[in-house]
Amino acid sequence: MESNMNNIERPVLAVDVVIFGIIKDSLTVALNQRDSSPFKGALALPGVAVRMDETLEVAARRALAQKAGWPVDIIDEIMLDQLATFDALYRDSRGRTVSVAYMGIVPESFIYSEKTIMKPFDEIPRGSLPFDHNLILETAHNRLKGKMRYTNIARKFLSESFRIEELQNVYEAIFKRSINRANFRNKLLKINMIEQVKVLTRAVGKKGGRPPHLYRFKRQEIETVDRDFI
């Protein structure tokens, strides 16, 4: 914080947004095609420069509206987490730009716009995105995995109620390993993270069998599952 706030040349401040979702048991990322240079036509994370009178989070939502073409009422439902700030001197060829990255999660029921594609995370090779967007995406992925370990953030991938198998799929898609069904269920119930909803679902286009139970998260808030180191 400096006394001097006059018109010295300053870095431009921007935001970039990483939106994750699970589609068909795979982790996916919202990307949009750039409509101007540099990297015109390339797939990139939605982002905008921050205006004088808006917070970073408001700017991030504006990026989702203007760049990704998402409806405002849906954007309002998404919780955005500040990720990190990226500041390499030449990260943007147009001039010194510092970008604050945000991360959000949408459920599979989300309606996509024509301007956005949800691309499977595993099909985005390193170096394939413009600017430092691969670095931002990697940071977001690590943060996502971290938050999955000690919060109930997984709920944001699903709708209000869900089959327990769907929830397990979320964990398996993100951690890329299979989890024992019985132990998964026992643990989440024991720590009181989820509870059973009374009704059973109707058939979901499956052949036959017992209709699955529905569950929901007991708390809305992202709650820390605290662990002591020692």
Partner DNA sequence: GCAAAAGTGTTGTGACTACACCCATGG
Partner DNA sequence: CCATGGGTGTAGTCACAACACTTTTGC
Preceding peptide of 38 cis, ω within 30°: yes
Regarding 10 and contact with DNA (CB under 7 A), the answer is no
Instruction: Name the minimum Å distance from CB 48 to a second copy.
Output: 5
3-class state of residue 141 by DSSP = helix
Lookup: tokens for 6: 């006059």
Nearest to 171 by CA among 158, 186, 189: 158
Regarding 25 and contact with DNA (CB under 7 A), the answer is no
**% helix, strand, coil for the chain, step of 5:** 25, 25, 45
Regarding 65 and contact with a second copy (CB under 8 A), the answer is no
Instruction: Name the minimum Å distance from CB 29 to a second copy.
Output: 16
Select the residue interacting with a second copy from 28, 32, 97, 169 (CB under 8 A).
97
For the segment 169-228, give every residue that binds DNA (CB under 7 A): 180-183, 185-187, 190, 196, 200, 203-204, 206-213, 228
If you search the block for the tokens 């808030």, which residue do you land on?
A: 221
One-letter identity of residue 101: A
Q: Which is nearer to a second copy, 148 or 197 (CB)?
A: 148
One-letter identity of residue 191: I
Regarding 85 and contact with a second copy (CB under 8 A), the answer is yes
| CA distance linking residue 87 with residue 76, whole number of Å | 28
29 within 8 A of 92, measured Cβ to Cβ: no
| CA distance linking residue 178 with residue 213, whole number of Å | 21
Footprint of DNA on this chain (CB under 7 A)? 163-165, 180-183, 185-187, 190, 196, 200, 203-204, 206-213, 228, 230
Contacting residues toward a second copy, per CB under 8 A = 1-5, 8-14, 16, 36-37, 44, 47-53, 55-57, 82, 84-85, 87-89, 92, 94-100, 131, 148-150, 171, 175, 179, 183-184, 187-188, 225, 227-230
